[in-house]
Structure 1
Amino acid sequence: MVKRSSLSAIVLLASGIIGACSIVDREAPATDAAGAPALAIVGVTVIDGSGAEPMSDATVVVRDGRIESVGPSVEIEVPADAEVLEAAGKYLVPGLINAHGHVGATLGLEGGHYSRENVLRHLQLYASYGVTTVVSLGGDEPAGVEVRDEQDTPSLNRARLFVAGAVVTGDTPGAALEMVDGNAAMGADFIKIRVDDNLGATSKMPPEVYRAVIERAHELGLPVAAHLFYLEDAHALLDQDVDFIVHSVRDRVVDDGLAARLVEADVCYSPTLTREVSTFVYESEPEFFADDFFLASAEPAVLEALRAPESMARYRESESAQRYKEALAQAQRNLGALSDAGVTIAMGTDTGPPARFQGYFEHMELALMAESGMSPMEILVASTGDAARCTGLEGVGTIEAGNWADLILLSDDPLAGVENLRAIESVWIAGNRVPSVS
């Protein structure tokens, strides 16, 4: 099963709970993949998501949804019953993990449409772009928990999902703790808080409230992910043992002290650069509206609405949009500095709300991470092995024996440039080929 591993000693106590309620995916084919012939991907270059050097001319054997063996082709025996996929000249990487997305609420350009059907539709969309696991940090309802509980099966054919329930809010500890307890009772994997004033437009969660939330969440074995904007709040949240920072510091240059504290506490940082992009990019027609990789999944009615002059005018005239445009530049500078200082980065995008396009924006995020100074290998690891570790997930993120066979087969070398992660030949989840945009 995929489960949350320890982000702290407390979280480890709960890590076995997640898979305990797993059941067979109702949307999977009636015949389970268990007992089906093995799949052998032969002659491929494996980039395993751990940061290790690529393994050329490798063979990966998949059986019952999991990787049975991986190694140099001369050392791996291909089972007699295996379906063989010849992949010489190709590249195999783990499926991408979005450490901060949202699932299930958006239909077109409207929120408020959360349903089981919509959750599954979004997970198929993510999967088509090679995003095989999504950590949904807020807005999750019981239907999402139900879908999560069905994914521990070798017949899975859409992206995996982990959920945070409702974003915890409240002006008093009592009100916020009621939400924590409600999310825990629903079966949330994480607790998400917002410590942000929306550029001065709202009040921030007071320290005494988020202190109480973090303490209660840890008592329940749940890690806490914090939305923030300001450097001062990053330090204050680290004082309270927050587990995961899920937006960039955007108000000023990060200090050396923050980097040192993040490294010492082993707290990961998810920059969500495309969140900023989404606030201003529609002030004119974006270049990506002509990108076939985007258009493969774009809804014409949505594009028409965003192209409308009155829509573009609203973006141009929005003071906050212009401030977030400046914030993006600061976020990119801070990402480069923190990555260089050894902070563990987890790719996340905040996709899912209207006009934050699931699947495509993840690839945009990779490009923005590269612009920020991260190398292709650093970006790949941040989007696979480290994203899994940062969110406490086991069984995904790296190509190794025992893990789920959530894989992307590429025609071009992703270490030559992250744009090559768009060169998707096929996407596999639990060893099942799923429709891709390429």
Structure 2
Amino acid sequence: MKRSILLVLLAACSRNPHPASVPSGGGNVIAITHVNVIPMTSDTVLGDMTVIVRGERIEAIGRAGRTAVPAGARVIDGRGRYLIPGLVDAHIHLSNRADIDSVVAAVLLAKGVTTAIELGGMGLPGDSARLQLRTAINAGHRPGPTLYIARAQANDSTMTREGGMRRVEQDHAAGYDLMKVYNRLSVEGYRGITLRAHQLGMPVVGHVVRPAGLEATLGSGQRGIVHMEEFLYQYFGFRSSDTLTAQDAKLDTAVVSYFARITAEAGTYVTPTFVTYQAMIAHAEDLDRELARPEVRYIPATLYNAAWIREKNERSLMFAHPRRLHHLRAGLHYQRLLLQAMHREGVPLLVGTDAPVAGAVPGFSVHHELQNLVELGLSPYEALSAGTRNAAAYLRKDDFGTVEAGRRADLLLLSSNPLDDIRNTRAIAGVMARGRWFDEGALAALLARSAR
């Protein structure tokens, strides 16, 4: 599917919907006063606080009556509002086309996503546009989240151990942050990648490598499995698209606790991406209903016409058959059981959406996934941890994911308390990304420029 989408993208004309400048803040001082802070260092609310931001960093946090606001600082009144770390989408894809990717980045930011993990461009030749976008965002020339990027997935069934090591060295030298492994990667190539990545400090994430198997993948030091459905595909050979056999009969619930335990023991992070799997079901059930959702207007036109419309929507075309829909629903039920078992065992979870694949709208889907986690038994604080601090630990970074002095000034100002109701993450009153403040008007303008 991705290959056909990209051919359409290549043929489309370019456009640049966003201005080069964004709200300043890199060298300024901003004070958010009298605000309720949810620091995400613990399940607590610190009332009536002042947060001082200087440049890209949080400089100080203290009680409003005891914390001086620097002269000349821009003051943002936080009375009655709640300040949390900016959200993280731990699984997105960019197209490597500046016109498309700038829209995706702007919509992510407008919905409170200040960090995103990009797991391989969607197949277009070269990678320069993604890396250039990362640089432009960091410099304040484009609105968007801080990006951590993997090159195209390693999926070569003939790769040698030495070839795997070379691939890591090349990606590391080119400035990529992660290694992504995929289904058909050879065992020897996988060994070379995991060894050299460990030596260079690059996290290895991705699918379960089929030739290696689930247990070997978990034992390899692979940092993350980026879809919960991967447990079904490798271990059971489950295929929701198979209409000839009773696929759902393969899903043995007796091994749910085993999966959860060995994943917890390995310390492997899991990104469920339930919103993506749910979208396959929803698009197969009623595509017209799904395409009429208001947020779909923020999918860039080229991408929408290449993958979302009825004639090109492979999810609708493939899964509308009743038996296939039955298998999808059985697979989703099993994944929910897995999530609950993994949560009980303490498996570290992440919020990721696979956006902008069909059905997953950048930014909007993050809030849907947070709600999914709470509905499956996580507390709002635990769900927020999956969408903030856990991602920093996943990347072995200590400069984002919490509201603490010294952290990158990635902040989300909310009108209501998300610890009371996780849906309150959608009540966005402002976003700060790397110290740059976007009030409600600026966020509305980003969305307006991004709409089709």
Q: TM-score range by the shorter chain?
A: 0.7 to 0.9
CA distance in 2, matches of 1:398, 1:48: 6
Residue number in structure 2 paired with 1:193 = 181
Residue number in structure 2 paired with 1:350 = 354
Q: How does 1:72-91 map to 2 (within 5 A)?
A: 72-91=63-82
Aligned residues: 393
One-letter amino acid matched to 1:147:
L
**Change beyond 3 A, Cα 1:28–1:429:** farther
Note the aligned Cα RMSD (angstroms).
Answer: 3.2
CA distance in 1, matches of 2:415, 2:53: 20
Deviation at 1:281, TM superposition (A): 1.3
Structure 2 residue corresponding to 1:64, chosen from 47, 55, 74: 55
CA distance in 1, matches of 2:355, 2:374: 19
SS in 1 for 2:333: helix
Residue number in structure 2 paired with 1:15 = none
Residue number in structure 2 paired with 1:133 = 115
Deviation at 1:155, TM superposition (A): 7.3
CA distance in 1, matches of 2:200, 2:22: 36
Q: How does 1:112-131 map to 2 (within 5 A)?
A: 114-131=96-113
One-letter amino acid matched to 2:31:
A
Residue number in structure 2 paired with 1:6 = none
Give the TM-score of the pair, scaled to structure 1. Answer: 0.79
Deviates more, 1:358-367 or 1:70-79: 70-79
SS in 2 for 1:134: strand
Give the TM-score of the pair, scaled to structure 2. Answer: 0.77
SS in 2 for 1:416: coil
CA distance in 2, matches of 1:147, 1:244: 25
Deviates more, 1:259-268 or 1:413-422: 259-268
**Which ranges in structure 2 are unaligned for 5 or more consecutive residues?**
1-17, 237-250, 448-452
Residue number in structure 1 paired with 2:158 = 172
Deviation at 1:310, TM superposition (A): 9.2
SS in 2 for 1:42: strand
Residue number in structure 1 paired with 2:280 = 279
**Change beyond 3 A, Cα 1:97–1:236:** same
Deviation at 1:334, TM superposition (A): 0.9
One-letter amino acid matched to 2:336:
Q
Residue number in structure 2 paired with 1:184 = 172
**Change beyond 3 A, Cα 1:286–1:277:** farther
Cα offsets for 1:87-110 (capped at 9, x unmatched): 11111111101111112x1xxxxx
Deviation at 1:285, TM superposition (A): 4.2
CA distance in 2, matches of 1:31, 1:277: 36
Deviation at 1:69, TM superposition (A): 0.8
Q: Is the 8 A contact 2:209 2:217 kept in 1?
A: no
Residue number in structure 1 paired with 2:363 = 359
One-letter amino acid matched to 2:269:
C
Residue number in structure 1 paired with 2:13 = none
Deviation at 1:314, TM superposition (A): 4.9
CA distance in 1, matches of 2:46, 2:324: 47
**Change beyond 3 A, Cα 1:30–1:264:** closer
Residue number in structure 1 paired with 2:403 = 399
**Change beyond 3 A, Cα 1:137–1:33:** same
SS in 2 for 1:436: helix
**Which ranges in structure 1 are unaligned for 5 or more consecutive residues?**
1-25, 106-113, 196-203
**Change beyond 3 A, Cα 1:96–1:30:** closer
Deviation at 1:61, TM superposition (A): 1.0
CA distance in 2, matches of 1:64, 1:155: 15
**Change beyond 3 A, Cα 1:374–1:32:** closer
CA distance in 2, matches of 1:305, 1:119: 16
1:226 aligns with 2:206: yes
SS in 2 for 1:136: strand
Deviates more, 1:136-145 or 1:172-181: 172-181
Q: Is the 8 A contact 1:48 1:400 kept in 2?
A: yes
Greater percentage in helix: 2
One-letter amino acid matched to 2:396:
G
Residue number in structure 1 paired with 2:9 = none
